[in-house]
Structure formats: structure tokens, C-alpha cells
């Protein structure tokens, strides 16, 4: 049975800060972080290396304690609880399995530590083996398994004590591309079937977009935006988010008027288009706007075009083609078109082309 995310909160991180070291060498790894994660949610922490993802995960797990703020689990402050007393389990990047033990023994390990009865351990191991589809390999030593199989054992071991929350720190980064894709689907299925809240750390934006119910985008110890993959991709609140998630075209434009979440802007070259405005923001003067590469079309240079430039480069990607256009004025604009048998022939490199931005596709950034 699938377990949809409920409105109950599993984890609340309130005004949490984390400072490593002291005095002149003090380093703020988390700066007033605030996030509420719902029960049964697949929640992803996404950001570049060093932004504080692992630090936040370690605080939730109880491996370290925040310098300020508090962390609540189902409404209860868990600051004083040591890791083993928290209904939280962690899957690490390097699995940390016991190589000399069998698959079953690895899965049973945590349960034995918790002093569960022999029957309970046996039933639980059987259930986990089935869940991760490793029944056939239960007596194999984990050193004799493939990377993907080892990852599944690590997951089964972490899920066996039925934690309320499972923390996953880049668990797929050691796998090759194809296996990684398979495991992404597998993880999503496991989360759905068990109804356990997953907090998944990654620096891979595509992984976050495909797996998460909601994403928190982090940079330099702060959470910049929290939203569904679609919200984060379609309505990035600031430049960093727009730039980090997918490809984006940035341009300067002049605001002519604005009201109720929309503005009219003049693009370089003078053409006027409507642009979306983030909630609570009143833009004026010169602003940055973003347009996703798949939200614009190549048209003839002429009155229909919003921008004009020279097609410099055409890159074929199988499912789609990317066009690199050098705008009059020097900036590059990337445009992406899906390939299909009926798609119009692409213009030759070196041709002067027009760009038409789709209705509602341009967005003004707050920065
Ligand atoms: P990655 O994706 O590379 O694992 P991350 O986003 O998980 O990065 P963290 O491991 O949380 O980042 O580290 C955040 C920042 O805090 C980094 O700049 C790191 O160098 C610093 N840091 C982490 N642990 C310590 C420590 N024990 N002492 C001092 N600084 C630390």
C-alpha cells in the first residue's frame, strides 16, 4: 500500500546553526536553518559540495549537536537523545557493511543490538530480503556482491528496525549511471511501500528532481528555497537556485510596469514581454530575468522574434537538440528543442535567427 505524505510533521529543524571550531578559526556551516519535513515525505537536501547537507543530516541523526536552535521529532525536542535512542537510521555513501557476514547477518545486526527476539529477527530479515529482492542471495557474504546489491543490503539493514525517519547521505554516488537510475526507482518504491520519511542528501539536481516530493536547495549553510521539484524548477526564487537547477538563460531587462505577480519588461533590443514576479516582490528599474532553454522557439528574425542573434552551434542529444545562439550584444542564449520526425529542419550554423519566448516563460529574479 502506498503511503502518501501526510500533513503531520516528522522533523522540525528550528533556527538551527552549527559553528565548527572557535575564535578566529570558527566556521559557520549552518546559519539559521529552518525546515519542516512531513511524515511519509521523500525530502531531499540539495546543494553543492560543502554547503552543509551532511552537517544537517548528522544533527538530525544525533551524531553532533547544534550550536543553536532545536530539532523536533513528532513535536518532541530530541536534543538530549543520543543517536541510538532516536527512531532515526542512516544509510551512508560507503554502505559500511560487514564484509565477512552474510546478507542476512548484516540485516539482522541492528536488530540483535536492539535485543529483539530470535523469531522477531528472523521474520524481519525475511521481510526485508523480500522488500529489497535479495532472497536468493541471503547466505552470500556481502564482499561477494555487486555495488547495487550491497547498496540494497545497506538499505535493508537500515530499514529493518522500522525507523520513523531514514537519513540517506548520497547513497547512490558510488554506483555507475545505469545502476544509479535503477536504484533511484527502487528507493522511491521502498519509500512508498514502507511509508517511512526519507531525508535524502544529494548534490545531483537531476536525482533530486526525479525522486523528491520536496526539495530544499542549500548554499553556504543556508536554505534558499523549499518546494516541489516543479516549483523549484519552474519558479526559482533566486539566481543561485535558477543556476544550480538545470540550464537557464539569464538576461537583463528594464521593468516598464508591474502589478499582481506580473510585470512588463523591455528586453535587450527593445521588445516588450510579460514576465512573472516572485510573490511579495516589487521589481523596478533594471532586473535579471530567466528563461529555461525549452521555453523558447527559433523563429525567423523579424517582427515575431523577441530576440535576434546568430546560431553558433547545434548539439544533437538524441532526444533533443541544443542551439547556442549569440545574441546581438554578445550574450549567449541556449535553446532546446525536442527531436521528432515532424520537427522543422534546423537552420544552418552561422544563420541569423530570431528567438520567441513562450508566453509566461520569462521570470524576474529577486537578486
Ligand atoms: P559534500 O557534498 O562535499 O559532502 P556537504 O554539503 O555535505 O558537502 P558538510 O560536510 O556539511 O557539507 O560541510 C559543510 C562545511 O563545514 C564545509 O565547508 C566543511 O569543510 C565544514 N566542516 C564539516 N565538518 C567540519 C568539522 N568537523 N570541522 C570543521 N569544519 C567542518
CATH number, domain at 78?
A: 3.40.50.300
Q: Do 339 and 254 fall within a single domain?
A: yes
ipTM: 0.95
What pLDDT is stored for residue 84 in this prediction? 83
Q: Is the CB of 29 under 6 A from ligand 1?
A: yes
Beta carbon of 20 within 6 Å of any ligand 1 atom: yes
- Which DSSP string do the residues of 175-217 spell out, in sequence order? S-HHHHHHHHHHHHHHHHHH--EEEEEES-HHHHHHH-SEEEE
Instruction: For CA atoms 138, 141, 144, 146, give the dihedral sign.
Output: positive
pLDDT at 346: 82
Q: Do residues 306 and 271 make contact, with C-beta atoms less than 8 angstroms apart?
A: yes
- Of 142, 162, 182, which closes a domain? 162
Query: Do 275 and 301 have their domain in common?
Result: yes
Tell me the C-alpha to C-alpha distance, in Å, between residue 293 and each of 318, 322, 332.
16, 8, 11
Specify whether the backbone of 109 is left (phi greater than 0), alpha (psi in -120 to 50) or beta: alpha
Residue 151 confidence (pLDDT) = 86
Residue in this structure with the C-alpha cell 528532481, named with its chain if needed: 209
337 lines ligand 1 (CB under 6 A): no
Using the predicted structure, report yes or no on whether residue 293 has a pLDDT greater than 90. yes
- 27: CA distance to ligand 1 center in Å? 10
pLDDT band at 196; cut points 50, 70, 90: very high
CA distances to 53, 62, 160, 296 from 21, in Å: 18, 18, 36, 49
Mean pLDDT over each residue of the chain, to the nearest integer: 90
Atom of ligand 1 nearest to the CA of 218: 6
Q: Which three cell numbers stand for residue 206?
A: 537531476
* Whether 26 and 81 share a structural domain: yes
Q: Tell whether 144 and 13 lie within a shared domain.
A: no
Does residue 92 lie within any of the structural domains? Answer: no
Closest CA to 286 of 271, 298, 268: 268
Give the end of a domain, one of 125, 140, 162.
162
Same domain, 322 and 265: yes
Under the banding of pLDDT at 50, 70 and 90, the label for residue 249 is very high
Q: How far is the CA of 201 from the centre of ligand 1 (A)?
A: 13
The percentage of residues in the chain with a pLDDT greater than 70, rounded to a whole number, is: 97
Ligand 1 site, residue 84, Cβ cutoff 6 A: no
Number of domains composing the chain: 3
**18, 20, 30: which to mutate for ligand 1, most atoms within 8 A of CB?**
20
Confidence at 272, pLDDT banded by 50, 70, 90: very high
Task: Please tell me the distance between residue 38's alpha carbon and the centre of ligand 1 in angstroms.
Answer: 26
Mean pLDDT in residue range 194-212:
94
Beta carbons within 8 Å of 151's beta carbon, 6+ residues apart: 95, 171, 172, 174, 175, 183
- b/e code 74-105 from CB counts within 10 Å (16+ = b): eeeebeeeeeeebebbbbeeebebeeebbbbb
Compute the distance between CA of residue 182 and CA of residue 161 in angstroms, rounded to an integer.
25
Same domain? For 256 and 340 the reply is: yes
276 and 348 co-located in one domain: yes
Q: Residue 93 falls within a domain, yes or no?
A: no
- Say yes or no to pLDDT of 310 above 70: yes
User: Does the C-beta of 261 come closer than 6 Å to ligand 1?
Assistant: no
Above pLDDT 90, what percent of the chain? Answer: 63
- Position 287 scores a pLDDT of 93
List of residues 6+ apart from 12 with CB closer than 8 A: 35, 36, 37, 71, 72, 75
Question: Which whole number is the average pLDDT over 251-260?
Answer: 92
Confidence at 260, pLDDT banded by 50, 70, 90: confident
pLDDT > 60? residue 1:
no
Instruction: Say if 195 falls within a structural domain.
Output: yes
Does the beta carbon of 295 sit less than 6 angstroms from any atom of ligand 1? no
Assess if residue 40 is contained within a domain.
yes
Supply the residue whose CA is at minimum distance from atom 5 of ligand 1.
50
Which of 213, 245, 277 marks a domain boundary? 245
Do 78 and 196 fall within a single domain? Answer: yes
Residue 261's pLDDT is 86
Sequence length of the chain is 367
* CATH code of the domain containing 259: 2.40.50.140
Average pLDDT, stretch 263-283? 90
Is the confidence at residue 166, as pLDDT, over 70?
A: yes
Task: For residues 36-63, give the mean pLDDT.
Answer: 95
Cβ atoms 291, 359 nearer than 8 A: no
**Would you say residue 106 has pLDDT above 80?**
yes
Ligand 1 atom closest to the Cα of residue 52 is: 11
Q: Is 249 in the pocket of ligand 1 (CB under 6 A)?
A: no
How many CB atoms are closer than 10 A to CB 49? 7
Strands (E), 98-147: none
- 28 CA → ligand 1 middle, Å: 10
Question: Is residue 66 very low, low, confident or very high in pLDDT (cuts 50, 70, 90)?
Answer: very high
Q: 146 and 120, same structural domain?
A: yes
Q: Is the CB of 25 under 6 A from ligand 1?
A: no
Q: Are residues 273 and 353 in the same domain?
A: yes
**Cα 353 to Cα 346: distance, rounded to the nearest angstrom:** 11
Instruction: Give yes or no: residues 238 and 102 share one domain.
Output: no
Give yes or no: residues 338 and 254 share one domain: yes
**Which pLDDT belongs to residue 340?**
85
For ligand 1, say whether the CB of 64 is within 6 Å of any of its atoms: no
Instruction: Give the domain extent around 205.
Output: 1-87+165-245
Q: Taking 90 as the threshold, does the pLDDT of residue 171 lie above it? A: no
Amino acid at each position: 500500500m502506498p503511503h502518501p505524505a501526510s500533513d503531520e510533521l516528522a522533523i522540525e529543524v528550528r533556527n538551527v546553526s552549527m559553528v565548527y571550531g572557535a575564535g578566529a578559526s570558527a566556521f559557520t556551516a549552518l546559519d539559521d536553518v529552518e525546515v519542516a519535513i512531513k511524515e511519509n515525505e521523500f525530502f531531499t537536501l540539495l546543494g553543492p559540495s560543502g554547503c552543509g547537507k551532511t552537517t544537517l543530516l548528522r544533527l538530525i541523526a544525533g551524531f553532533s549537536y547544534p550550536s543553536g536552535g532545536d530539532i523536533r521529532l513528532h513535536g518532541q525536542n530530541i536534543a538530549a537523545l543520543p543517536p541510538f535512542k532516536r527512531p532515526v537510521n542512516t544509510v551512508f555513501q560507503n554502505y559500511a557493511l560487514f564484509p565477512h557476514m552474510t546478507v542476512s547477518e548484516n540485516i539482522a545486526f541492528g536488530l540483535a543490538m536492539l535485543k529483539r527476539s530470535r523469531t522477531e529477527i528472523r521474520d524481519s530479515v525475511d521481510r526485508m530480503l523480500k522488500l529489497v529482492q535479495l532472497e536468493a542471495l541471503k547466505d552470500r557474504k556481502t564482499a561477494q556482491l555487486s555495488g547495487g546489491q550491497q547498496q540494497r543490503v545497506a538499505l535493508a539493514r537500515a530499514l529493518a528496525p522500522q525507523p520513523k525517519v531514514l537519513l540517506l547521505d548520497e547513497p547512490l554516488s558510488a554506483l555507475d549511471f545505469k545502476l544509479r537510475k535503477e536504484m533511484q526507482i527502487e528507493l522511491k518504491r521502498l519509500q512508498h511501500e514502507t511509508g517511512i520519511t526519507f531525508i535524502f542528501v544529494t548534490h545531483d539536481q537531476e536525482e533530486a528532481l526525479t525522486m523528491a516530493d520536496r526539495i530544499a536547495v542549500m548554499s553556504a549553510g543556508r536554505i534558499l528555497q523549499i518546494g516541489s521539484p516543479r516549483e523549484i524548477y519552474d519558479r526559482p526564487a533566486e539566481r543561485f537556485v535558477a543556476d544550480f537547477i538545470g540550464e537557464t538563460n539569464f538576461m537583463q531587462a528594464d521593468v516598464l510596469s508591474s502589478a499582481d505577480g506580473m510585470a512588463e519588461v523591455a528586453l535587450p533590443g527593445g521588445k516588450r514581454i510579460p514576465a512573472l514576479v516572485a510573490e511579495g516582490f516589487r521589481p523596478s528599474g533594471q532586473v535579471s530575468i530567466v528563461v529555461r532553454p525549452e521555453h523558447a522557439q527559433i523563429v525567423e528574425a523579424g517582427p515575431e522574434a523577441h530576440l535576434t542573434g546568430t546560431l553558433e552551434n547545434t548539439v544533437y542529444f538524441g532526444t533533443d537538440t541544443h542551439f547556442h545562439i549569440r545574441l546581438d550584444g554578445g550574450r549567449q542564449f541556449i535553446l532546446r528543442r525536442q527531436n521528432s520526425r515532424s520537427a522543422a529542419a534546423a537552420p544552418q550554423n552561422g544563420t541569423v535567427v530570431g528567438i520567441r519566448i513562450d508566453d509566461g516563460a520569462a521570470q524576474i529574479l529577486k537578486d
